[in-house]
Every structure is written in structure tokens, then in C-alpha cells.
Chains A and B, each alone.
Chain A
């Protein structure tokens, strides 16, 4: 039996607290498209994607209208293309990027992920060919997202791959210099990348996945912040319960939408990603949750503790609400995509070092951080290596999505519009890690006992 308070609570979450389903992402396997002929490969890829996801957007819109819950993004993730293009040239891979773009336009989706390579232990010729054209692919397409996994807890860290990614990021920044180096906003470097993540730019369809699958990312930082505000004066045990209860409710809606979408699209339900994903909109910020918990500003000492507690409580609440949980599942702390984070950086309260510490206890990593355009490749590699080490040592996913905005320096900011938001350029340490980075090779996998 429904009661009035419950109904009004749900409506209030949607209307005033920005509750939404952040994304329905359909994962599509491209393994059956393999061909040594780039044209044939591209044709098969286009046909497979556009046929499999033909009804994705319409279905998303119908569910949105019937259940009254906004579904912000409808997206597609595909098998990492380096796995299907092993026999094609860099030019072939570039053609494939255009094919993915064309498929995205046909479907009416806003991002397609999977222009990716998994190189945590080493690189194949196909991986190398793909990575060599990532900057061009990102510059010449609008909706294609790319990711490269350079490390895992079991394999260690591929420093040769990190070195390559340093130059790839710089070149992507240069090639998209007329558009605030936006190419870098569509490129993520990962450690321990999940294979069922529905969120961009890091989504791809892993090799252990079925032919197609529906993964759903829920959101709701605004709902959590409002619940904490309503809880008023209470201790942290109580606050953790408030967050858990709220996360449970949010996730239940995600589960409903995911099962309904899977049923209507005839694809199996994969996972719900329990991440708290912010947007640049007021009232949709993870930083503001931390401040609601009692910090003067995000970045103050105490931020890591508050974030760790938030992240844990969200998972505890969400796990029971969903039959399968996966993806990234944790609070995201992108700078440009979070109104409160932007304000904290602008106030001088939040530094890249603090962000790095925060990533040890939450989802993803150094995300959507704009840095000076003259940052050297080696410094970028150093930042990646540091962040990736946190993931590898702690057996968790971490990632880096850094934007060395061409021609910009500290004091400037870059604006990407839409969900990607606005990023103030953050200062970096400029001391050189060049010798360390140039050694190359692999950092061995960490020991799994003697944990200190």
C-alpha cells in the first residue's frame, strides 16, 4: 500500500534533488566482427551496433516517460577495439573510430565507449596501432570515448604503456587545442579497469560479458546531500545509516529501470553501478555532500575520512537494493563535473595532492582535472604512475583523466559545456620525474600479505 509521505518523498527527490538514472549503457560484443580487412571490419561493426542497440534510445525514453524518472544518458559500450583490430593498420583503427561515431549518430546516443586497449602486462601490435591514433580519433570524432588499462594488481604496472599514454594525452590536447583540449576529456588511463562499467569515458564491454547486456548507472548526490541536511545534528553512526537508507532507495529505482530496460530490449541485465555521479548543476555535487557532513569546504583536513565513510555507506545501502552490483560503484570526484569541487578549487581549498589522497578511498581517480598546457609528458606520466599505484596497491580501480589544456595556465579555466563542465587549471609540482619514467619496464605486482 502506497502512502502519501512515500509518494511525496519520491517526487521531491526527482523534482528538487536531481534524482535521475545517469545512464543506461548497452554493452555489445564485437568479437564476431573480426576481420583482417578494415573496411569489412567497419561494416560489420556498424551493422552489429546499430542493429543490437536499435531500440535503446526509444526504450530509454519510454521508461523515462512511464516511470517519471529522468534517464539522462543512453549509451553503448563495445568490446575493446584493440581486441578486434589486431590485424588492421593505424589507418584502419582511425576508420573504425569514424565508424563508431557514425553508429553513435545513427542511434542518437551521446557517447560510445570501447575505443580501448588492455595493456597492463604488455602491448600487442594491435594495441600499439590503436594507441598511436587515439589522439586523431578523439580529435576527429565527437562521441567516441577511449580508455587504456595500464596496470592491474595481479600484473603490476606497465610503465612503457604509461610513458606512451603521457605523449598520447599531450598530443590529444594539442590536436583539440581549438576546443579547450577536449580530446583529453574522452580518454581515461586505468588500473584494474572494470569490464562492466556503464559510465563514460571509461566504459567498454569486457571479454567475459555476453553478446549484449544492459548496465545501469544510478546517481543522486543531491538526494544524499538533502537527506543529510534533514538528519540535522546527529553523530556519524546515525549519519551512515541515513546515507545507507538513501542509497538503498536510489538504487532500487536503478534496479527497476535496469530490469525493465533489459526486458524490453531483450538483453540480459548486467549490473547496477552504485556510483554517486555528480554533474555541474547546482544541487548535484559530491563535494557538497562532504560539506553537508560537516566540512567547511571540500579539501579541508577530514575530507578523506568523510569521503571514505560516504563511499562505504553508499555501497552498503546499494548492495541490498540490487541483484547485481558492479562497474565502478563508488563516489566520483571529478573536478570539472562537480559544482562544489570547482568552487573548492577556486577557493584554493582543494589541491591535486588532496584529490590524490581522496582517490584512495573512493571511485575512479584523478578525474577531469585541467592542468597547465605546458606540463611536460614526464610530469603527466608521473601523475598517472602515482594514481595507478594507489589502485594497484589497494586492489581497486583507479584512473586518470587529465586535461593539459593547450595554451592555458594556472588562473585560467576551460569550459567543455554539458556534463563535462568547467575546470579551473590546477597547479602542479614541476620537479622532474623524467629519469624514473624513462626507465620503462614494469613495476612488479605488489605482495598480497604483509599489508602495511
Chain B
């Protein structure tokens, strides 16, 4: 199972490091990283394997969101299926 992790907001030093550390700590294996500026905001997107998470995925998502909020970022971890269903037939 994969999750899509998105980080949007103002750029600052150490965002990738913080998110990567967070993922490693919780057992999420990052398989892809893309960074882009689109629709007027900075965005980093990671795809992560979440089969071996140390916490339930919903908790992982909540904690990640809280961590982002502390840094003034919008960070989300969402099950990949929401994107697959919306954009692929």
C-alpha cells in the first residue's frame, strides 16, 4: 500500500530532512520525491510504502499534519487510491 505525502507552503531549510526523518521514524519507505512550483504554491510530493508503518496510517497522517503545522506548512499523507480513482479510469 502506498501513501502520497504532500508538503505545500513557504520554502525553508530542512523541510525534506524533517519529513524524511518523520517517515523513517514511523517505518514509511519513501520511493519517490518530486518538487514543483504549480498553481502558485511550492509543493513537494513523496510517494511512500506504508505496509510496515509502526502506527496506524490514520495516526501517521494526523502526526504528519501536526508536524507541518508547527512549521507553517500544509503537510498531508493520503492513501494513494484517492488520486488513482479520481484521475485514472
Q: Max chain B CB contacts within 10 Å: which of A5, A7, A252?
A: A7
- Interfacial chain A residues near B36, Cβ < 8 Å: 4, 8
A67 touches B78 (CB 8 A): yes
Contact digits for B73-89, partner A, Cβ 8 Å, 1 yes 0 no: 01011111111111100
Partner-B contacts on A (CB < 8 A): 2, 4-12, 15, 62, 65-69, 249, 252-253, 255-256
Contact digits for B43-82, partner A, Cβ 8 Å, 1 yes 0 no: 1010100000000011001100000000000101111111
* A-B CB contacts (within 8 Å), total count: 67
Give which listed residue, A2, A11, A65, A249, contacts B58 with CB less than 8 A: A65
Q: Which residue of A lies closest to B81 (CB)?
A: A256
- Interfacial chain A residues near B45, Cβ < 8 Å: 4, 7-8
- Interfacial chain A residues near B4, Cβ < 8 Å: 2, 7
| The 3 nearest A-B residue pairs measured at CB | A68-B78, A65-B58, A6-B87
The count of residues in chain B whose C-beta lies closer than 8 Å to any C-beta of chain A is 27
Q: Known: A66-B57, A68-B77, A68-B78. Contact between A2 and B83, CB under 8 A?
A: yes
- Interfacial chain B residues near A4, Cβ < 8 Å: 34, 36, 38, 43, 45
B39 on the A face (CB < 8 A)? yes
Q: With the chains together, A66 CA to B53 CA distance in Å?
A: 13
Q: Which residue of B lies closest to A256 (CB)?
A: B85
A62 touches B61 (CB 8 A): no
B82 touches A2 (CB 8 A): no
A-B contact pairs, 13 of them (CB 8 A): A4-B45, A6-B87, A11-B6, A12-B39, A65-B62, A67-B78, A67-B79, A67-B81, A68-B76, A68-B77, A69-B78, A253-B82, A256-B82
Q: With the chains together, A61 CA to B43 CA distance in Å?
A: 26
A2 touches B47 (CB 8 A): yes
Partner-A contacts on B (CB < 8 A): 4, 6, 8, 34, 36, 38-39, 43, 45, 47, 57-58, 61-62, 74, 76-87
Q: With the chains together, A102 CA to B84 CA distance in Å?
A: 40
Q: Which residue of A lies closest to B3 (CB)?
A: A66
Give which listed residue, A15, A62, A69, contacts B82 with CB less than 8 A: A69
18 further interface pairs, Cβ-Cβ under 8 Å (given A8-B38, A253-B85, A255-B85): A2-B4, A2-B47, A2-B80, A4-B34, A4-B43, A5-B38, A6-B86, A7-B83, A8-B36, A8-B45, A10-B87, A15-B74, A62-B58, A65-B62, A68-B79, A69-B78, A252-B85, A252-B86
Q: With the chains together, A62 CA to B60 CA distance in Å?
A: 12
Q: With the chains together, A8 CA to B87 CA distance in Å?
A: 11
Kindly provide the distance from the CB of B71 to the nearest chain A CB, expressed in whole angstroms: 17
Q: Which residue of B lies closest to A69 (CB)?
A: B82
Q: With the chains together, A9 CA to B62 CA distance in Å?
A: 21
Q: Max chain A CB contacts within 10 Å: which of B6, B45, B83?
A: B83
Kindly provide the distance from the CB of B73 to the nearest chain A CB, expressed in whole angstroms: 12
B39 touches A67 (CB 8 A): no
Give which listed residue, A10, A66, A249, contacts B61 with CB less than 8 A: A66
Q: With the chains together, A5 CA to B45 CA distance in Å?
A: 11
Kindly provide the distance from the CB of B81 to the nearest chain A CB, expressed in whole angstroms: 6
Q: Known: A4-B38, A5-B38, A8-B38. Contact between A67 and B87, CB under 8 A?
A: no
B34 touches A68 (CB 8 A): no
Q: Which residue of B lies closest to A5 (CB)?
A: B38
B79 touches A7 (CB 8 A): no
- Interfacial chain A residues near B84, Cβ < 8 Å: 2
- Interfacial chain A residues near B43, Cβ < 8 Å: 4, 8
Q: With the chains together, A2 CA to B80 CA distance in Å?
A: 9
A11 touches B8 (CB 8 A): yes
- Interfacial chain A residues near B86, Cβ < 8 Å: 6, 10, 249, 252-253
Q: With the chains together, A69 CA to B78 CA distance in Å?
A: 9
Kindly provide the distance from the CB of B24 to the nearest chain A CB, expressed in whole angstroms: 21
Kindly provide the distance from the CB of B2 to the nearest chain A CB, expressed in whole angstroms: 9
Q: With the chains together, A2 CA to B48 CA distance in Å?
A: 13
Q: Which residue of B lies closest to A2 (CB)?
A: B83
Q: With the chains together, A9 CA to B43 CA distance in Å?
A: 12
B79 touches A66 (CB 8 A): yes
